[in-house]
A and B are shown apart, each in its own frame.
Chain A
Amino acid sequence: MERKLLTYEEKDTWIDKLCGVTKLVFFLCWSVTSMMTYDTRILVLMLVLSLIIFKISRTRWDQVGSVFKFILLFLIINLLAIYLFSPAEGVKIYGTETVLAGSGRYALRAEQLFYEFNIMLKYFTVVPSIFIFIVTTNPSEFAASMNRVGISYKAGYSVAIALRYIPDIQADFRKIRNAQMARGIEMSKKGKLVDRIKSTTAIIFPLVFSSMGRIETISTAMELRSFGKHRKRTWYMARPLKRNDYLVIAISVLFMIVALTITYMDGSRFYNPFV
């Protein structure tokens, strides 16, 4: 049941060579645009663009495939749920009603289909940008570059520690779960809810409490090597922003502004093909 997590892989494309902070700015602009807009034209454009960037980054399908299938499943469930809860939401939004088939509450309406199509687009525009962000960003350099956008270096180091210890804690988790399974404790789907929560504790408690011990050790080690001595710190992995970085940041911000201006020009975030 264990799926492969997305991980960074060193490659030699110009996207890889961008600073982490550049990619973060791009990712944030991209997310904000995609969250705010419901303009179908812009969403389609973004989808096309992200597929192109995905291609350039040379991200391989096997790096992201299993995760992608999962998203697809989640998306389908969500689209069905929206239909179930509010089959005429599209009518409310676009102001017209075009029944394609059926009748009554769950009649199939063109507006609803178009609305849910837009939601699907919104998902698909964000997903490649996250894939690219994770797969092409060196975690070390990322932690270093967070400091640049005004995030305190201490918070930046929390991120670095999280990334550093995720594999270790995952290994602990697996070891503990195996040993408890051999004792006969498993997280089964049967039994009373309270019993199921209890058997979870057999795995969670040792994991959490041994991690609490780890917090002490790491703090001591950092203390002994003068973490927090000055208001600033330098970074071994920091990279200076280059021409390409400024270019990408400028384009990202510009794109966001233009896209949102177009979206809101007519006073609504929705593009309405029905009137």
Chain B
Amino acid sequence: MNEKAVIEFDNFTFKYRTQVDPTLHDINLKIYKGEKVLIVGPSGSGKSTLSNCINGLIPHIYTGEQQGDVRINGKSIRETSLFDLSCMVGTVLQDTDGQFIGLTVAEDIAFALENDCVAQDEMHARVDEIAGIVEVGKLLKSSPGELSGGQKQRVSMAGVMVRDVDILLFDEPLANLDPATGKRAISLIDRIHKQTDTTIVIIEHRLEDALFCDADRIILVEDGRISADMTPDELMSTDVLIRAGVREPLYVSALKAVGVELEPEDEAGQIDTLHVEKYADEVRGWYHKQPHVQTRAYGEEVLGISHLSFAYDQNVTVLEDVSLSVRQGEMMAIVGKNGAGKTTLSNLVCGFLTPDKGEIRLNGSDISGLSVKERGEHIGLVMQNPNQMISKAMIYDEVALGLQVRGVPEDEIKERVNKVLRICGLYPYRNWPISALSFGQKKRVTIAAILILEPEIMILDEPTAGQDYRHYTEIMEFVRDINKKAGTTLIMITHDMHLMLEYTNRAVVIADGHLLADSSPAAILTNDEISDKAYLKRTSLYDLSRACGIDDADGFTEAFIHYERAHSRG
């Protein structure tokens, strides 16, 4: 390896101007030319602050007090302008829409060149070249509205690569992508890394997906300090990830559940390199000892959908002949790639759209005559982004809103709000302004605001998108609690495979407007054909069980998830 450090943190401490305590403490870190490094850590650990130092947003945009120094290509970030830094470090942000500034793909790629006053001919040639590398060459004239999340991300990559940067910095590149698209993004980053010898820094908490291609090092950030800096193989043989609240790859968790103590020589960084032969007997033995998983029986049908079809205009059919039946008390997932028709289905159920054909029944009776507001009393909808639902400053007022507009007397409102706040664990905060809450707490507020209407069914749109493992667990445990305590039937629209596996009993797969499968999540995630069509990714538990000579990968997956549930909650 080349011994030239391109990124160098030297006893670096940083405190934001608005905060009391430093966010980063005494960081020492060297990243060398041509390396590929993953930075992981829970939310609030300081990993984003670390990335803001690399691209120069600190100290040029976010000001604060600093000690020590950060050098990029040997130049101190303090003494180098943001313009010069951004010619060395290209940053791909998390928000695929926010950073897509151009009206078309070509313009967005050219944006930095335009600002550098590059001549038009040269610009056109350069854009064509880079667009080819990230495979968006055919989309140059498309507007962002016509692109998928994955395509937008590739455009953003091209937008920073046009400048021949030395370092590519990715801020949670997987957060907004479905698993298959995420896999493709990681492969593309890997290819760019190999072809161009660019230094790559990826900040991500979805470690298993990020490790789909090999990385040189993983750096774990915890409470503003670096608590681990080792190769993936070494890291998998420790338990620092779990202690820090970062999710390990599923196959690693499974091996640890079996009782295996991984060694660095096992090369557990990736499932493909793992020397599993050594442990196959142990895994098989464990599997045969697991009790057979009983499936819970559910109540009556609460929501019935028969032969539902919908098209925005005659040419574009979004949903065709979809039928399914949801039973009282179920927790189920609707999965499928973006644009497959999942959201359209929930819009039809809520009454925002009117179906062309088919019937929707609630407790056995047709609801086509009910207004959106009337349906809302039976079927609650929780949006993905809580900031797009919250309209009040105080928690109490936000939760009470749904009752106030229905003219419920003030005494009753107070009683019901307090009851719901208690169920949701928000009672101690009832007089807090919502702006003081964390993302997860805000999510609870929006769920509470729907729960107050006592709906039989709640539809949650991507309940955990962009959340780290701790917040993910917090939100999902809460949701499961609601399901148990209030008996609410829960339908979750998601492409998070972990969520499906761990928290739902049933998954409905929609692909290209058709219902492709309706089965247990474990069965779907161990079936290649369905996973491919739905843009899901086969779970690594499948590969593990196969490698260990267990034919029933579905059964193994079920057994492990069941074991996890039983053990994580005592």
Contacts and interface: CB of A to CB of B under 8 A. Distances in A.
B101 A164 contact: yes
Interface string A81-120: 0000000000000000000000000000000000000000
A228 interface: yes
Nearest to A205: B391
B389 A179 contact: yes
B387 interface: yes
Interface stretch (A45-53, A57-65, A128-136, A170-178): A170-178
A161 B55 contact: no
A172 B97 CA distance: 12
A234 B117 contact: yes
A31 interface: no
B402 A184 contact: yes
B316 interface: no
- Best-buried of A164, A183, A220 by chain B (most CB within 10 Å): A183
B209 interface: no
A97 to B, nearest CB: 55
Nearest to A178: B352
B515 interface: no
A225 B373 contact: no
Interface string B97-133: 1110111101100111111111110011001000000
B376 interface: yes
B101 A182 contact: no
B144 A184 contact: no
B115 A220 contact: no
- Best-buried of A178, A232, A236 by chain B (most CB within 10 Å): A236
A225 B115 contact: yes
B381 interface: yes
B480 interface: no
B120 A223 contact: no
Given A178-B352, A183-B376, A203-B391, A236 B114 contact: yes
Contacts of B111: 222, 225, 227
A221 interface: yes
Interface string A203-215: 1011101100110
Nearest to B377: A184
Given A183-B449, A226-B83, A233-B114, A164 B144 contact: yes
A163 interface: yes
A182 B378 CA distance: 10
A172 B103 contact: no
Given A178-B350, A184-B406, A234 B114 contact: yes
Nearest to B343: A175
Interface size class of B (residues with CB under 8 A): 35 or more
B103 A140 contact: yes
B339 to A, nearest CB: 13
Contacts of B123: 234, 236
Nearest to A237: B107
Interface string B362-389: 0000000000110111011101010111
A164 B102 contact: yes
Contacts, number: 161
B479 interface: no
A238 interface: yes
A256 interface: no
Nearest to A173: B388
- Best-buried of A163, A224, A235 by chain B (most CB within 10 Å): A224
A185 interface: yes
A182 B406 CA distance: 12
Interface in A186-244: 186, 199, 201-203, 205-207, 209-210, 213-214, 217-218, 220-230, 232-238
B61 interface: yes
B94 to A, nearest CB: 9
A121 interface: no
Contact of B99 (A178, A217, A226): A217
A234 to B, nearest CB: 5
Given A164-B103, A226-B83, A233-B117, A206 B389 contact: yes
A26 to B, nearest CB: 22
B116 A229 contact: yes
Given A178-B372, A223-B82, A229 B101 contact: no
Given A168-B97, A220-B93, A179 B383 contact: yes
Given A179-B383, A186-B373, A226-B83, A214 B391 contact: no
Nearest to B387: A210
Interface string B289-313: 0000000000000000000000000
Nearest to A165: B97
Nearest to A209: B387
Contact of B405 (A176, A185, A206): A185
8 contacts: A176-B389, A181-B376, A185-B401, A218-B101, A222-B111, A224-B55, A225-B115, A238-B120
Interface of B: 55, 57, 61, 82-83, 86-87, 91, 93, 95, 97-99, 101-104, 106-107, 110-120, 123-124, 127, 144-145, 159-160, 347, 350-352, 372-373, 375-377, 379-381, 383, 385, 387-391, 401-402, 405-406, 449-450, 453
The 7 A-B pairs of least Cβ separation, nearest first, read A217-B98, A182-B376, A221-B99, A236-B110, A225-B112, A202-B391, A205-B391
Given A178-B352, A226-B82, A236-B110, 19 more contacts: A164-B102, A179-B388, A179-B389, A180-B391, A181-B373, A182-B375, A185-B401, A202-B391, A205-B391, A210-B387, A214-B98, A217-B98, A221-B98, A224-B93, A225-B111, A226-B83, A226-B87, A229-B83, A235-B114
Interface of A: 139-140, 143, 160-161, 163-164, 167-168, 172, 175-176, 178-186, 199, 201-203, 205-207, 209-210, 213-214, 217-218, 220-230, 232-238
